[in-house]
């Protein structure tokens, strides 16, 4: 990588490995050469990649792709919907062996399908944290849970206590549930409750859409942790963080 | 390709060449290396590729790409809008020679522009079926025809009788016409009329959007034939078929 | 590149270098191999590439990508938001040296953030036109300026007089501001004012969405200059220009 330009005054950014300003991307089955192409350009800006929902189970190229991510210093997380289905079919032991065998280091534990008890979710976090970095997600796929902002924060506190490294606030790929209403607007009261209870280096807000990323950067700063970023949006998100796009230029750039 | 994981109980899926559960993708001018990258990962899940509308006429790399698809066992179909324009300019003979010369094996015959008589459409199906596998599409680009659900089914019956291998229900790339209203919702009465008359291994429903794919899989099962799938959605669609995504998990996965 | 088919009667198109029918694409950080893949297929259809907003400042692969574009005969333009930030931080001299050192030949000068005086914008055009081909953009990122259609045209006349090679009418990546209302519909009165004052080979209309491209081609012909085209839409746009897609077939194709 060549040295980039340095003539502008921009917000500070930590470099990898970083605890703030994490960019967590959503891989929906990125082909191998496209993955290597992305990493060649932007690996220094990608902190975690999630293989969405059950994509990892049907993708025959996953082991090779995980190796490419590892070579570039990017850890791979399996999506929570897969973990939920594994739990419902009582296959956690075989799931764990398979994940370890292909080089997975991170696992998401969620309850988006609402088929697990609270205790089962906490048990899974504890069990999987022995072998993996656990990301515990809160929020359902249909927006029905948790009931109140306080419930969001309390579930996250319990998940961290059970051994999760990060808690993740649900936004899906669409940005229309969980943290967001059907029109993609942020439920600000949920964000307020979360940041009142959870340290900023332990929370990842799923924010798939530009307007949502802009909202978080404007309200919580350049180094907010954002998740479910499309692979093609890694550089655009970095420009939003630094005030190099119109949406955040007035906020981020010294006048 | 390495062996994938096998620890979950999932719906059965035929392997290629399959007559049910066909995934038909829409190629809008996929570049060569991206095509090879996709095929390396997912050729076993792609049954037919359509080169959309007149893309094939302006894409200088088409012959090379068709060769790559052929090497991976994926037949290539030219889009129906091109066939309609060819027919209006009375160039069917030269069109056929060109298509055969570059390795095209499938041709779509449609009347989306509504500039052909019914007899002309049937004549084209019969004529082209001598050299190609014909996919006959029903539905206009502006949603104005056929007039009734019964008309959809009757046109499809006539098209099969004329020699089409498959009939295709129009949804366009946008999912807002033909089978769908402007809000992308399924016209269920059209689907009902079609499945009452057409065997499931002869009909392909264009379903470009996730919510539409979910609707068909939920109502007609994992092995419904779906078309106009974006190349980047081949693996996501497979997870919907198998219940490995939240949208279909409750329906598809044994509890 | 192999010879393509020639059996259809289609609208005439100039070949490169062309002064009409320009396709100007928006590069939001296209990775290197994907860029080369696109150019292999469609370089003959791409007249200018814009590296959007501040993407160029954060993309470590930019010098290599500019070289690939240059090898394919495609000039590279830096986005106007970057120029505006540079001007606000009084770093024009260092910006110019950096841009020249990496092979940039075109610069966009805009006032989308509305932080420059009119005279400062004109001064930048004049200053940068000494070393670069200047594209001068009119329209703000939030839709607040210019106030009237006549103001659009008058600013463009002044920008051309100051040394711009092209004037560009704002549409952003979203197609919801500038030339368009929030529902993506064209402000026809702005287009009318512009074409009354600006020669067609000096104006580029940003038209990121298919419906907008269709509107311009239907109203102004196959060889209207269109900008902010997605890289994956270069071939689809060419089919719209030639009447090889349903949206424009009735208008463009001889009956």
Chains near B with 3+ CB pairs less than 8 A apart are: A, C
Domain ranges of chain B: 23-252
Contact C85 A7 (CB under 8 A): no
Contacts of A232 in chain C (CB under 8 A): 28-29
pLDDT at A141: 83
Contact B91 C243 (CB under 8 A): no
Mean pLDDT value of segment C132-155: 93
List, for residues C32-56, the tens digit of each pLDDT value: 999 999 999 999 999 999 999 999 9
> What does CATH list as the number for B23-252?
3.20.20.70
Contact C40 B29 (CB under 8 A): no
Binding-face residues of A in 25-84 toward B, CB within 8 A: 28-29, 31-34, 52-55, 57-61, 63, 81-82, 84
Contact A31 B40 (CB under 8 A): yes
- Alpha-carbon distance B235 to B231, whole Å? 9
From B233's Cα to the closest Cα of chain A, the distance in A is: 8
Binding-face residues of A in 188-227 toward B, CB within 8 A: none
**C61 has pLDDT over 90:** yes
Contacts of C26 in chain A (CB under 8 A): none
- DSSP, collapsed to helix, strand or coil, labels residue C219 as helix
pLDDT-based confidence at residue A1 (cuts at 50, 70, 90): very low
Judged by a CB distance cut-off of 8 A, whether residue A243 touches chain C is yes
- Alpha-carbon distance B16 to B73, whole Å? 9
User: Are the beta carbons of B156 and B9 closer than 8 angstroms?
Assistant: no
In sign, the C-alpha dihedral spanning A136, A141, A145, A149 is positive
Judged by a CB distance cut-off of 8 A, whether residue B114 touches chain C is no
How many CB pairs (< 8 A) connect A and B? 95
From B68's Cα to the closest Cα of chain C, the distance in A is: 15
Contact A81 B235 (CB under 8 A): no
Which member of B86, B88, B112 has the closest CB to residue C255? B88
Q: Which of C11, C40, C232, C235 to mutate to test the interface with B (most CBs of B within 10 A)?
A: C235
Contact C60 A235 (CB under 8 A): no
C-alpha dist (Å) from residue A248 to A176, A213, C54, C98: 22, 10, 12, 24
In this structure, what is the dihedral angle of CA atoms A237, A242, A244, A248, given to the nearest 10 degrees? 80
List, for residues A54-101, the tens digit of each pLDDT value: 999 999 999 999 999 999 999 999 999 999 999 999 999 999 999 999
Contact C53 A4 (CB under 8 A): no
- Percentage of residues in chain A having pLDDT higher than 70: 98
Mean pLDDT value of segment A3-21: 94
Judged by a CB distance cut-off of 8 A, whether residue B86 touches chain C is yes
Judged by a CB distance cut-off of 8 A, whether residue B112 touches chain C is yes
Contact A141 B5 (CB under 8 A): no
From B61's Cα to the closest Cα of chain C, the distance in A is: 6
- Alpha-carbon distance A195 to A32, whole Å? 37
End-to-end CA, chain B: 30
pLDDT at A254: 56
Which member of A9, A246, A250 has the closest CB to residue C53? A246
Judged by a CB distance cut-off of 8 A, whether residue A144 touches chain B is no
Which member of A52, A58, A84 has the closest CB to residue B238? A58
Contact B29 C255 (CB under 8 A): no
Judged by a CB distance cut-off of 8 A, whether residue C239 touches chain B is yes
Contact A7 C98 (CB under 8 A): yes
From B41's Cα to the closest Cα of chain A, the distance in A is: 6
Helix ranges (DSSP H) in B50-200: 55-58, 62-71, 80-88, 92-101, 118-128, 149-162, 188-197
List, for residues C163-218, the tens digit of each pLDDT value: 999 999 999 989 999 999 999 999 999 999 999 999 999 999 999 999 999 999 99
**A241 has pLDDT over 50:** yes
Long-range contacts, stretch C187-192, CB < 8 angstroms, 24+ apart: C187/C149, C189/C149, C190/C149, C190/C152, C191/C219, C192/C149
Mean pLDDT value of segment C80-104: 98
From B79's Cα to the closest Cα of chain C, the distance in A is: 10
Contacts of B34 in chain C (CB under 8 A): 34, 37
User: Are the beta carbons of A172 and A142 closer than 8 angstroms?
Assistant: no
pLDDT at B254: 56
Contacts of C234 in chain B (CB under 8 A): 29
CB atoms within 10 A of CB A153: 22
User: Are the beta carbons of A207 and A213 closer than 8 angstroms?
Assistant: yes
Contacts of A89 in chain B (CB under 8 A): 7-9, 253-254
Helix (H) or strand (E) holding A24: strand A23-27
Q: What one-character DSSP code corresponds to residue C86?
A: H
User: Are the beta carbons of A204 and A169 closer than 8 angstroms?
Assistant: yes
Chains near C with 3+ CB pairs less than 8 A apart are: A, B
In sign, the C-alpha dihedral spanning C153, C156, C162, C164 is negative
Q: What one-character DSSP code corresponds to residue B180?
A: B
Going through chain C in order, the beta strands assigned E by DSSP cover: 23-27, 48-51, 76-78, 106-109, 133-138, 166-169, 203-206, 226-229
Chains near A with 3+ CB pairs less than 8 A apart are: B, C
Contacts of B88 in chain C (CB under 8 A): 253, 255
Contacts of B61 in chain C (CB under 8 A): 1, 40-41
Judged by a CB distance cut-off of 8 A, whether residue B182 touches chain C is no
Contact A29 B244 (CB under 8 A): no
What mean pLDDT value characterizes chain A? 95
- Alpha-carbon distance B204 to A170, whole Å? 34
| Beta-bridge mates of residue C180 | C186
User: Are the beta carbons of B207 and B227 closer than 8 angstroms?
Assistant: yes
Instruction: Estimate the share of chain C in helix, then strand, then coil, as percent rounded to the nearest 5.
Output: 45, 15, 40
Nearest CA in chain A to B252: A85
Contacts of A255 in chain C (CB under 8 A): 88
Half-sphere exposure of A198 (CA within 13 A, CB side): 35
pLDDT at B2: 54
**What does each of the 255 residues of chain B score in pLDDT, given as a tens digit?**
457 999 999 999 999 999 999 999 999 999 999 999 999 999 999 999 999 999 999 999 999 999 999 999 999 999 999 999 999 999 999 999 999 999 999 999 999 999 999 999 999 999 999 999 999 999 988 878 899 999 999 999 999 999 999 999 999 989 999 999 999 999 999 999 999 999 999 999 999 999 999 999 999 999 999 999 999 999 999 999 999 999 999 886 655
Contacts of C241 in chain B (CB under 8 A): none
**C251 has pLDDT over 90:** no
Mean pLDDT value of segment C92-120: 97
Contact A245 C81 (CB under 8 A): yes
Q: Which of C1, C2, C8, C23 to mutate to test the interface with B (most CBs of B within 10 A)?
A: C8
* Closest by CA position to B170, among listed B148, B142, B210: B142
Nearest CA in chain B to C44: B60
Which member of C32, C82, C113 has the closest CB to residue A250? C113
User: Are the beta carbons of C80 and C109 closer than 8 angstroms?
Assistant: yes
- Alpha-carbon distance C255 to C252, whole Å? 9
């Amino acid at each position: 990588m060549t040295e980039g330009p340095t003539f502008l005054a921009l917000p500070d950014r930590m470099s990898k490995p970083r605890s703030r300003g994490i960019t967590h991307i959503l891989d929906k089955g990125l082909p191998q050469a496209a993955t290597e192409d992305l990493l060649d350009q932007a690996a220094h800006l990608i902190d975690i990649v999630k293989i969405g929902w059950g994509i990892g189970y049907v993708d025959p190229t996953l082991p090779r792709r995980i190796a490419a991510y590892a070579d570039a210093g990017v850890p791979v997380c399996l999506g929570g919907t897969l973990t939920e289905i594994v739990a419902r079919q009582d296959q956690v032991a075989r799931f764990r062996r398979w994940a370890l065998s292909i080089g997975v280091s991170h696992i998401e534990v969620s309850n988006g399908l609402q088929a697990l008890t609270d205790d089962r979710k906490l048990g899974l976090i504890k069990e999987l944290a022995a072998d993996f970095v656990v990301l515990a997600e809160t929020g359902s796929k249909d927006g029905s849970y948790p009931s109140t902002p306080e419930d969001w924060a309390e579930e996250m506190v319990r998940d961290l206590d059970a051994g999760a490294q990060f808690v993740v606030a649900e936004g899906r790929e669409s940005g229309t549930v969980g943290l967001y209403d059907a029109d993609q607007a942020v439920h600000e009261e949920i964000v307020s409750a979360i940041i009142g209870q959870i340290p900023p280096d332990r929370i990842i807000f799923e924010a798939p859409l530009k307007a949502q990323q802009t909202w978080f950067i404007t309200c919580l700063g350049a180094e907010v942790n954002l998740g479910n970023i499309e692979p093609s949006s890694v550089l655009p998100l970095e420009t939003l963080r630094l005030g190099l796009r119109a949406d955040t230029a007035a906020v981020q750039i010294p006048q």
